[in-house]
Amino acid sequence: MYLVVIAWIYVVLMMSVAEATNTTGTVLGAIVTFVLYGLGPVALVVYLMRAPARNKALKKRRAEELAQHHLLAGELPVVQATPSVAPDSSGHAASRPESVTTSASITPVRKEP
């Protein structure tokens, strides 16, 4: 990500130098070009691309603060259980184990058309 940012800043810097050294260009125009084409958009793109990292850091900091609060209050922290095996995500149809047998006294109930 930063390689693209550095390359864009380089391109805009060269645009600014070309404008400043042109016979009809000015240094003020070069500064405005660098700020409006370079620094402004790059700052916005970097800010937007770092949003997920900021959110992750914020969640981590809140979890640490909550754990610290529970520790100071003498409470046991609530640990959410994660399943040891993921639920059926293979996409295959579920099958009935062979050891399960149906009782003859229970008849299946179906909707009538």
Each domain of the chain, given as residue ranges in start order, spans 2-73
pTM of the model: 0.52
For the stretch 15-71, pLDDT in tens is 999 999 998 989 999 999 999 999 999 999 999 999 999 999 999 999 999 888 888
Does residue 5 contact residue 13 with C-beta atoms inside 8 Å? no
d(CA 6, CA 17): 16
Does residue 37 contact residue 12 with C-beta atoms inside 8 Å? yes
Q: How many residues does the chain have?
A: 113
Name residue 95's amino acid: S
Q: Which of 67, 62, 61 is nearest to 79 (CA)?
A: 67
Residue with tokens 């940012």: 5
d(CA 46, CA 58): 18
Name residue 1's amino acid: M
pLDDT for position 72:
83
d(CA 63, CA 69): 10
Name residue 15's amino acid: M
